[in-house]
Chains A and B, each alone.
Chain A
């Protein structure tokens, strides 16, 4: 079973993405902030991670760096409303392999997961 970790402080987003991914046969683990995401990464070692950026406790960029410290090969994509050019550059430089800007069509997230898993 391929496991995807979704981190987003919005229960609404976790529900939408989670449901869509589960419908496509993935096992979904949820985190509600960056700190939770890092802990869940340690615990579950998912095949891919989708990180929101604007989150309390630890933001997505902080979580990205912490996850890549744990596992330099971690397959992480950002799924965020914060699509400012400088932020995209920063995330990619910090090791994110994809960057999806909200609002998105459901297909785009699926594409992102498939890209991360390749």
Chain B
């Protein structure tokens, strides 16, 4: 059973984080829409703390094969972004990206993988831009990489990395999408490292003290 709880953060930070994550998710959806030529919208957005031991379960059945695009968030902030798609959805998305009829793509070769990597890159960067600009920090991602693997194995690897720094919980931001109003098996995750959460939360607090609003 997956245990999770609301994120425990300084009050001002917590109040600001949720709308900022929402903004990030909307921007990621917008980026996906542009890339795919379809109407991609957010179906749900959640922000929660999950015990590391439960992290492999956040995307459902851990043995479920996914095609996932991974971006790291560079030091000093740290964190991970995953755009996880079912195998079928990955093939469908490639067709959209290459402006091909649905069903054309049947395997993920170099160009197809590159198209998915770039899509993850653009969606992830759009999300980070929402956070970075509101909190006035720089959050550069690492180059995207694509994995075809059991989703639990990917998540478990991230959990182990977080366990190295003796954390007990991971902060998980999750967004699910619709494509042309239909639910699709695409999930976007941000796992911010504690330093990233701190930097973003304190950036928000400082920002709110400014006399002039930047919005």
> Per the CB under 8 Å rule, do A and B touch in the complex?
yes
| CA–CA, A24 and B55, complex, Å | 49
Partner of A82, one of B110, B111, B141: B141
Is A82's CB under 8 angstroms from B143's CB? Answer: no
Partner of A54, one of B31, B34, B121, B133: B121
Partner of A81, one of B110, B115, B125, B137: B125
Q: Count residues on chain B whose CB falls below 8 Å from chain A CBs.
A: 28
Is A86's CB under 8 angstroms from B34's CB? Answer: no
Partner of A11, one of B110, B125, B133, B144: B110
Is the CB of B138 closer than 8 A to any CB of chain A? yes
Q: Inside 8 A of A59's CB, which chain B residues have their CB?
A: 140
Q: Count residues on chain A whose CB falls below 8 Å from chain B CBs.
A: 22
14 A-B residue pairs with CB within 8 Å: A10-B117, A10-B118, A11-B114, A12-B111, A56-B143, A80-B125, A81-B125, A82-B141, A83-B125, A84-B140, A85-B133, A86-B137, A102-B122, A103-B35
Known: A82-B140, A85-B133. 9 other contacts (CB 8 A): A10-B114, A54-B141, A80-B125, A81-B124, A81-B125, A86-B138, A87-B138, A102-B122, A103-B31
The chain B residues found within 8 Å of chain A, CB to CB, are 31, 34-35, 97, 110-111, 114-115, 117-118, 121-122, 124-126, 128-129, 132-133, 136-144
